[in-house]
Structure 1
Amino acid sequence: MWEQSGHDVRLDWGGEGVAALGRECAVLVVVDVLSFSTTTDLVVGRGGRVLPVRWRDERGIALARAAGATIAGEGAFTLRPSSVTEIPPATLLALPSPNGATLCDAAAATGAHVLAGCLRNASAVAAKAHGFGGPVGLVAAGERWGVNIFGDGETFGPLRPCVEDQVGAGAIAAALARLGRSLSPEAALAARSVDVTALAECVSGRELTESGHGRDVALAARLDVSDAVPVLNEGVLA
């Protein structure tokens, strides 16, 4: 029941969603629109690579540094999409986040193909996921109570489902439906909710805009403007 068996495309939330969907799905798509997946799309679209790092994982940061990665937050590049629009091609960016990066690591442990999806690359990611065959699990990251949108809060609270990831996962679900895939009720409801204008008015969008990061919301709210498809391979999205 929890795996939404019998449907080609399924949707659930957070780490628990990874665990449930990962038991049957051949593909897991991590959707963290504000901002991990959007930033990853922009980096990969410019020919770079992203190394997802679990939140506050000092060992992960040390390994990334040893691999020659640029560490987000230690220079010009951060989790904010607007910070990477001119990132040099071939950059390996270690990108810690409490949601998207952490979920990518968890998803990889299931043995499924792992992709990072957002509004910008929704149709491209859907096509790639469809090509792998087998059930597709859409994992809407959600936010965390007590952690702000760029993950620099002091606490790590429970999951808060959010509009932006519902809309992002819905856009990918809708694209998969156009490819002939059947949707679970959860995925179908998300597919009917796609409204990019909602990002500016939802809680997360307002938080960013009121903090002076409205450009990040605008970058995240663009639908199907990218052909980049970040696929996790040996711990790196490229």
Structure 2
Amino acid sequence: MSDTKIALVTGAARGIGAAIAEGLAARGMTVIAATRADLDVTDDDSVAAFASRYRHDHLDILVNNAGISGGREGQTPGQVDPAVIRAVYETNLFGVIRVTEAFLPRLRESADPRIINVSSGTASLHWNTDPSHGFAARGAMAGYPSSKAALNMVTVQYANAFPGMSVNAVAPGACGTDFAKDLGLSLERTAADGAAIAIRLATMDKPPTATFVSDEGTVPW
């Protein structure tokens, strides 16, 4: 087995995903930067076909980054469009499960397997129920934050199921990417800033497992 680490990053066409892929490649890893053109995480057949084309005998790092906000329309409590919520969950939750399940056999062939699920600080129940925190004061969204909270629980369940594997959720923080622009946000942090925590977990010695972390440390569940 080669000493070169192999990483798969979903949603790597732009933004934080592209920055994660670039950062891992710059650190000497073999990186498979998957985009929706070759891997649609919402489609069973697409995921299965992508996994069947994978030619390495193992996978060291899986970064489940593909995600959507769903936009603000149809997510406001009291005016929810269930179709919008389903679409958000299909990518942000079920897409992660699809890809993870497809690549678990290759991850289990690694000497140091790691799964990094890109979550969001908006998933923190603690922050959303703290009147002093900005998340509690901003307009409510039924889909995106709850999809990421569900992803956090899935992260813990995989960590519990595979104790020899490092499985964590990261909150990259809001960045001035197209994702943020779609929500009408103008931000100074860059995609590279958002990628830093995932890159750290992918490259650090003796990584933790079953954690929810950001650049600033542990994020309260």
Higher relative contact order (CA 8 A, sep 6+): 1
Q: TM-score, normalised by structure 2?
A: 0.31
> Which one has a larger percent strand, Structure 1 or Structure 2?
1
TM-score, with length taken from structure 1? 0.29
